Amino acid sequence: MDSHDWDRRYADSALVWSAGPNQFVESELADLSPGRAIDVAAGEGRNSIWLAERGWQVTAVDFSRAGLDKGRAVAQRRGGDLGVEWLLADVVNDDLGRDTYDLAVVAYLQLPAEQRRAAVRRAFTALRDGGTLLVVAHDSTNLTEGTGGPQEPAVLYTAEDVLADLDGERFEVVRAERVAREVLLAEGSPDQEPRTAYDALVRVVRTDPR
């Protein structure tokens, strides 16, 4: 999907994603001391807003103007702009800065391998020494073992794929594994029992000053 496809998707719904942060973003980052953060492919900004409410100075980056506009509107309803910078940019091709951020979040970025690698490396390069990169994604095994998520294998990946994307960089691995997430089917479905979705989760700390 290109930016126009995402613009149409975001325009067609009140919120495509939940208003609260992703559960793994929340659980992994809740104890970090606030600093400067970049939310790569931020969409409607749910993770950016959560970080900002916790004292982070956040740059929310996405190539969908409609998604960023919705995020800005949600932030206004939650108590003002919250200090979030809403930046229209292509995370594959545009410069995200160097040695700038204490945290980079890449949550559910759905791109083929070559483009994903470029985006992940740009997010990592934007970190200061000691900065944290957190990647959460629909795991490749979710297609056959899990529930929901994209049904296109080319945009699914694993924790090992993310670590391979960072080959040549220096970092400490805090966590890199497949994780389970309980989901409910669409409202009105006759089966409302929780199902299991599988995500790839990678958390690393950059250890190589540039």
DSSP class of residue 25 equals H
Looking at the chain, the whole-number percentage of residues with pLDDT higher than 90 is 71
Where is average pLDDT lowest: 54-68, 96-110, 190-204? Answer: 190-204
Whole-angstrom distance, CA of residue 148 vs CA of residue 165: 25
Domain range list for the chain: 3-206
Query: Mind listing the pLDDT tens digit for each residue in 185-203?
Result: 655 555 667 889 999 999 9
Reference 45, options 61, 25, 26, 29; nearest CA is 61
Calculate the alpha carbon distances from 104 to 27, 80, 96, 122, 204 in Å.
15, 23, 10, 10, 10
Token pair listed for 114: 């070559």
Sheet holding 85-88, edge to edge: 85-88, 57-62, 36-40, 101-107, 127-138, 195-206, 171-183
DSSP class of residue 108 equals S
Whole-angstrom distance, CA of residue 106 vs CA of residue 197: 18
Strand 171-183 and strand 195-206: pairing? antiparallel
Residues 162, 202 contacting (CB under 8 angstroms): yes
Strand 36-40 and strand 171-183: pairing? unpaired
- 96-116 average pLDDT score: 96
Whole-angstrom distance, CA of residue 105 vs CA of residue 45: 11
Note the pTM of the prediction, 2 decimals.
0.89
Class of 3-206 per CATH?
alpha beta
- 146-175 average pLDDT score: 96
